[in-house]
Structure 1
Amino acid sequence: MGEQKRIGILTSGGDCAGLNAVIRAVVCRAVGTYDWKVLGIRQATQGLMSDPPQFIPLDLDKVDNLLTAGGTVLGTTNKGDPFAFPMSDGTVRDRSEDIIAGYHQLGLDAIIGIGGDGSLAILRKLAQQGNLNLVAIPKTIDNDLGSTEHSIGFDTAVNIATEALDRLHFTAASHSRVMILEVMGRDAGHIAISAGIAGGADVILIPEIPYQIANVCQKIYDRQSQGKNYSLIVVSEAVRTEEGEPVMSTNRLGQCRLGGIGQYLSDKICACSNAETRVTVLGHIQRGGTPSPLDRLTASAFGVAAVDLIAEGKYDRMVSWQNRQVVDVPIAEAIAQYRAVDLNGTLVKTARGLGICLGD
């Protein structure tokens, strides 16, 4: 069996469906196969930053019911860069050495980090600085991480957005309305174009393709002339105005967030057509709930593969789904390759072939 290792696991960045399935797979493989100890780090790197470090000992009993659970039992955060961490007095401080000290204080032989490009970049920088043994697992509902065809959470988000379009279809037809569905997608339009095709949208707007309102209105007119007095529009939250300005909302704390492009489009469409519009913003509904079967499968395969990389002593690697199997790639390579929607790819060609308006 070899030396009994102590490995840590943490979830970082925004939550999504499938994180708990990864945690379950890691524990099943590490404990069940290798008889290792697994420590679940609380609240991402903030758990290692604490003194003493905050963690949960994980065994087979504790992960028994995690396969279908949404969110993450470990907690997560997408705030507070550890290299410039905001302190209570308003200053910022480099807390990276505190995190490295927490890793050693727990006696870890390796750590598995589950995150997107931003989280993995920070984790890799910490690992390089502190000589930590890191293995990464990709998760992002945006599916914009390089070197992998699937990231944890994406498929579930697409399923939820598709179901929303399915439901909006009937109420749009009943009231002869234009229904606009605003979906997540920080920089990329993967959710919008996938759900739009699967959900039968008439118009799909993604940040990768500049659009004109006139083209959207023409699509609505064309459908009306065919006796179809309703239309479905799906738009990624990262789509900008016609002039190229981002659409943001500011909360009471002064924090700016993407959001509002759906209402912007509604106002513009009302101004250039006689169509009655309604806007639905899915928001965090896309992150929550039970993971889809594909996300559970991917999460399970990634978790097992990550533990096996540690067993082989292969670090600074990210597990990846390529050509119907799990492989591993350098973390640096994965986070360097941002994956936007391919304008010459299958999905864009399919949308155009179906007569879906992409706004251009």
Structure 2
Amino acid sequence: MGEKKRIGILTSGGDCAGLNAVIRAVVHHAMGTYGWEVVGIREATHGLMTRPPQVMEFELDKLDSLLLMGGTILGTTNKGDPFAFPMGDGTLRDRSQEIIDGYHSLGLDALIGIGGDGSLAILRRLAQQGGINLVGIPKTIDNDVGATEVSIGFDTATNIATEALDRLHFTAASHNRVMILEVMGRDAGHIALAAGIAGGADIILIPEIPYQMENVCQKIRQRQEMGKNFCLVMVSEAVRTEVGDQLTELKAAGEDRLGGIGKYLAEQIALKTGAETRVTVLGHIQRGGMPSPVDRLLGSAFGVAAVDLIAQGKYDQMVAWQNRQIVSVPIAEAINTYRSVDPEETLVKTARGLGICLGD
């Protein structure tokens, strides 16, 4: 069994399906196999800033329902860089030492951080500065963490986007419309590409492949000439306009966020082809709901593997899925490699082989 440890776990960045499956696996394996204590840290690093730190205690007999739950029972945040934290008076303050002190005040031997590349970069910097034994687990619906073939949340988001496209298919056919589905993907088009193929899209636009509007419209005209007066268009929110402008929408808090490419495409298509168009922006629906079986399996495997790394004293590592197995890679390597869609990868070739227009 080895020395008894007390470990912490937190979720950081945007939420996604499968996070609770990771938490469940970590608690089960750490407490059930090794006899350790596990402390859940609320609201990511914000929970370590408060005094006393905001934590959650776990009980082994109350974990089963976690496997089915979306979101994260620990809460999370993607705001407030602890090294330049926005204060109420408008100033920025370095609050990193408060987080480090919070970690040590809990008497923790190690910390498991679940996050994307941005969150893991911050956690690693804190760990290096404050002597925190850190193990990382990748999660992002965008699937853009380079060192792993798949991250927690991607499969569920792809399933949801595929189902949405399935549903749009019938209303598009009934009304002879061009239906545009705008999906998430901050910098990468993995969701749009995978769900577009699975859902039978006629046109898929992703940020990695520049497009020409005339090529998009030509695809729609070709279908019209074949007697198919409807069309399904899947587009990633990060796609720019034809001239390269990135579209954003101003939110109530004064923050610009990606969005609007679906509306832009609808206007251009209607103008150039005369087709009736409608736009659906899927947004945060892709993050919600119960995790898919794949995300439950992946979350469980990642959670068990992270605990084993702590038992082996292997820190500053991130668990990853490569070649159908769990491996560990240095966090520095994981966050320095970014996984966008390769224009020559298999799914791109598959789309082209199916006659799907990618706009180029």
TM-score when scaled to structure 2?
Answer: 0.99
Query: d(CA) in 1 for partners of 2:50 and 2:171?
Result: 51
Partner of 1:314: 314
SS across alignment from 1:61: helix
Query: d(CA) in 2 for partners of 1:138 and 1:62?
Result: 25
**Letter aligned with residue 296 of structure 2:** R
Partner of 2:274: 274
Query: d(CA) in 2 for partners of 1:59 and 1:93?
Result: 37
Partner of 1:195: 195
Partner of 1:131: 131
**Letter aligned with residue 272 of structure 1:** K
SS across alignment from 2:146: coil
Partner of 2:103: 103
Query: d(CA) in 2 for partners of 1:252 and 1:101?
Result: 34
Query: d(CA) in 1 for partners of 2:98 and 2:254?
Result: 29
Q: 1:31–1:59: 8 Å Cα contact kept in structure 2?
A: no
**Letter aligned with residue 144 of structure 2:** D
Counterparts of 1:137-156 in structure 2 under 5 Å? 137-156=137-156
Partner of 2:351: 351
Query: d(CA) in 2 for partners of 1:64 and 1:199?
Result: 32
- 1:107 shift after superposition: 0.2
Root-mean-square deviation (CA), in Å?
0.6
Gaps in structure 1 of 5+ consecutive residues: none
Counterparts of 1:152-167 in structure 2 under 5 Å? 152-167=152-167
Query: d(CA) in 1 for partners of 2:106 and 2:251?
Result: 38
SS across alignment from 1:194: helix
Counterparts of 1:195-344 in structure 2 under 5 Å? 195-344=195-344
Q: 1:82–1:96: 8 Å Cα contact kept in structure 2?
A: yes
Q: 1:47–1:53: 8 Å Cα contact kept in structure 2?
A: yes
User: Is 1:24 aligned to 2:24, yes or no?
Assistant: yes
Counterparts of 1:52-131 in structure 2 under 5 Å? 52-131=52-131
- 1:272 shift after superposition: 0.3
Query: d(CA) in 2 for partners of 1:59 and 1:333?
Result: 35
SS across alignment from 2:64: coil
Q: 1:38–1:59: 8 Å Cα contact kept in structure 2?
A: no
Query: d(CA) in 1 for partners of 2:318 and 2:87?
Result: 32
Q: 1:25–1:303: 8 Å Cα contact kept in structure 2?
A: yes
**Letter aligned with residue 344 of structure 1:** E
SS across alignment from 1:178: strand
Query: d(CA) in 1 for partners of 2:226 and 2:271?
Result: 22
Query: d(CA) in 2 for partners of 1:151 and 1:63?
Result: 22
TM-score when scaled to structure 1?
Answer: 0.99
Gaps in structure 2 of 5+ consecutive residues: none
Q: Deviations over 1:96-142 (max 9, x none)?
A: 00000001000000000000000000000000001110000000000
Query: d(CA) in 2 for partners of 1:253 and 1:196?
Result: 32
Query: d(CA) in 2 for partners of 1:190 and 1:337?
Result: 16
Q: Deviations over 1:290-348 (max 9, x none)?
A: 00000000000000000000000000000000011101000000100000001110010
Q: 1:116–1:138: 8 Å Cα contact kept in structure 2?
A: yes
- 1:252 shift after superposition: 2.3
- 1:253 shift after superposition: 2.0
